[in-house]
Structure 1
């Protein structure tokens, strides 16, 4: 099986036209060639990546980039691990969690000088070192809602407390309107997890911001009361008929389309959705609110990171470092990323281009609340153990399917943690 996996990875790389990491060849005229792992979404299209790469290589004509594309956005971390196992880790990898790579010496640690232009230069450290450029802040998730469906159900304002959220959900259901649109089908299991991520942020991380640090130390478990309460809330929303179980058959693009087509009133999703909402305006207005807390205080799960990581063993390490830094700090690249993926750029002095109302409201919600980590998205010392994030999404699918309840889901997550080598 392992041999077949490696052969499959080699074949995939051959299809992508990727030379071995950090090579030079007659075809490149002796220029420094690097490979770059990316992933595609409805916002981040092949053309987006090609154009962004070209902006950097136009400034650095001595660098030639071979693009490698992950099978899907949700599979990009697992795919990167396959490439590492086959000895073909790309030179630069975009938005790949460094945990599981850095510990074995495979990643380059950025210096303070290289990080001086970033707003939050010490985001997501692993062993005190920064391996991923922290260039983009993403609230994950906020709740995007259909103002027309809210009005049809007699809801005059977005809920501020969890009790108000339940009341709004009941009113929507009574009118035959699906309260929550979710996804999780096919390769995009991550799209099933956003309600859970929101609840862990409001009910666990708000009071225990170091929960996963303690989990790694064996001082807490996922079966502890606070985490189980958050998970039970997720299961209860499903049991009450507020979550669209049909979402389990939808991939990520289809899930977004379902909300834009008016098939549900609320869409818990990362801030990148604002780009689609503004660019593909549906026949209704879209609002934004933070997932409500029990006491009404605004809490926003968010993540600052998402930049490239660099293969420390690249044969063209200087070229890889130069490309990674320029890819993130190129103003034109960032302008396009803001427009296409609603990025909130965390680089000093950067000013975004004029944006639409959903993006601006997203930014206002982020600024109005207490920011906590986003469960499953962490990539530093407070991250889930390698591989456990994918297991969490699979458990979220089970919760939506109604095949497990909150306490059982917490126990399942503890079991997966133990299988991954955790205490």
Structure 2
């Protein structure tokens, strides 16, 4: 999907129905008077609590008697928050930033009979057995390398000439010699996510069905293109291109360090653009497509942005569905969420910076957007395990052990 992006003046990121109430379990709450909808939301440096409250205030004004209450995840994931609430017998109504799997689909309302879901981006790609459980606002691309233009000038580098992993590694050496931290990372979820943004672009462009093959036991991390990426990553740590102390940083810390010019490059998704805009740094930052040992440019690893699900045990299911419809179909709600997180959707434009325009140009040249969904969706919990194994490289593990660890974990999940 290709759309035109323009300068984003708004702020704030991303990493989530039925025809009638009877169709969703026999209950009816069509009378909205006095209804409180509890919504699990994704909180990030861009998507703040204030942002969500301001956005959902619009829904409340258009729907008198309905109150939208934010359910904040704090340091845990939206999925973990949902499971906690369900275990406590206190289900929320809507959850954002959760992607159902075949194992968890029963937790969510089947929205297949809602005609409006077909107009949302990537709905069919995220279908499970032909059924739609999740609806999103837009889509993100994530195989991007943002760079400090001044650092590249000082190091004598041309970003447009960096296509391969060897060239990427060579650039890091020159940046270190020029006095910069070559590549910014941090702890929390960031380490594994950045590795995915890098390795998935190359491996899944070469073999789009790789994850499905891994699910079927016909592929492994230890004997695939993922191993060379782990070896490259380990080499960067050993050469000091990635600082071991970075694991002590939060996502926000790492982003701030790059924005303040303390590091030269930063692998991150398109949702970084609003942060650069807000910091008034966009003109000082460039971007190029993730280097690859295969085709260049590779496909862009991406996903559904601002995904929403309706919780099956919601006590206000009909109202919850009506709310999700608004969040994913109302033009102003869509534009706000797209601009806040640097995302895109066919037929929608918004003002954007020079950096956002550069990201759009990368999307335009990308052969495809790679989505891990359906048969190509990893086993639940994989992102946490990947993060663990990538972080183990900072504490002495080898690339081969990390790859073997990923295979062992995957096999253990049955």
The aligned residue for residue 392 of structure 1 is 386
The aligned residue for residue 82 of structure 1 is 84
Q: 2:43 pairs with 34, 40, 43, which one? A: 40
The aligned residue for residue 341 of structure 1 is 341
Q: SS of the residue aligned with 2:263?
A: coil
The aligned residue for residue 310 of structure 1 is 310
Cα distance between partner residues in 1 of 2:135 and 2:128? 13
The aligned residue for residue 368 of structure 1 is 365
The aligned residue for residue 7 of structure 1 is none
Residues 209-288 of structure 1 mapped to structure 2, 5 A cutoff: 209-282=208-281, 285-288=284-287
Residues 87-106 of structure 1 mapped to structure 2, 5 A cutoff: 87-99=89-101, 102-106=104-108
Tell me if structure 2 keeps the 8 A contact 1:108–1:309.
Answer: no
Tell me if structure 1 keeps the 8 A contact 2:102–2:128.
Answer: no
Cα distance between partner residues in 2 of 1:283 and 1:298? 23
Q: 1:150 pairs with 144, 149, 152, which one? A: 152
Deviation string, structure 1 residues 60-89 (Cα, Å, up to 9, x no partner): 2243322211113x6222222222333333
| Stretches of 4+ aligned residues off by more than 6 angstroms | none
Deviation string, structure 1 residues 155-195 (Cα, Å, up to 9, x no partner): 133412323212211111222211100011xxxx2111244
Tell me if structure 1 keeps the 8 A contact 2:201–2:370.
Answer: no
The aligned residue for residue 324 of structure 1 is 324
Tell me if structure 2 keeps the 8 A contact 1:239–1:402.
Answer: no
Residues 198-217 of structure 1 mapped to structure 2, 5 A cutoff: 198-217=197-216
Cα distance between partner residues in 2 of 1:179 and 1:100? 40
Query: Please, what TM-score do these two structures have when normalized by structure 1?
Result: 0.84
Q: SS of the residue aligned with 2:212?
A: helix
CA-CA distance at 1:309 after TM superposition? 0.5
Cα distance between partner residues in 2 of 1:174 and 1:211? 38
Aligned pair count reads 386
Q: Give structure 2 stretches of 5+ with no counterpart.
A: 1-26
Tell me if structure 2 keeps the 8 A contact 1:183–1:255.
Answer: yes
Deviation string, structure 1 residues 194-243 (Cα, Å, up to 9, x no partner): 44213322331012111111222222222223222222222222223221
Cα distance between partner residues in 2 of 1:169 and 1:296? 21
Cα distance between partner residues in 2 of 1:202 and 1:336? 28
Cα gap change, 1:221 to 1:232, in 2 (>3 Å): same
Residues 345-356 of structure 1 mapped to structure 2, 5 A cutoff: 346=345, 348-349=346-347, 351-356=348-353
Tell me if structure 2 keeps the 8 A contact 1:137–1:302.
Answer: yes
Cα gap change, 1:52 to 1:127, in 2 (>3 Å): same
Tell me if structure 2 keeps the 8 A contact 1:134–1:306.
Answer: yes
Cα distance between partner residues in 1 of 2:373 and 2:84? 18
Structure 2 residue 168 is the aligned partner of structure 1 residue 175: no
The aligned residue for residue 165 of structure 2 is 162
Tell me if structure 2 keeps the 8 A contact 1:125–1:381.
Answer: no
Q: Give structure 1 stretches of 5+ with no counterpart.
A: 1-22
Q: SS of the residue aligned with 1:206?
A: helix
The aligned residue for residue 290 of structure 2 is 291
The aligned residue for residue 411 of structure 1 is 404
Q: SS of the residue aligned with 1:173?
A: helix
Superposition RMSD on alpha carbons, in Å?
Answer: 2.5
Cα distance between partner residues in 2 of 1:333 and 1:283? 25
Tell me if structure 1 keeps the 8 A contact 2:120–2:138.
Answer: no
Deviation string, structure 1 residues 367-403 (Cα, Å, up to 9, x no partner): 21123436xxx3544222122211211222212x142
Cα distance between partner residues in 2 of 1:237 and 1:260? 21
Query: Please, what TM-score do these two structures have when normalized by structure 2?
Result: 0.86
The aligned residue for residue 16 of structure 2 is none
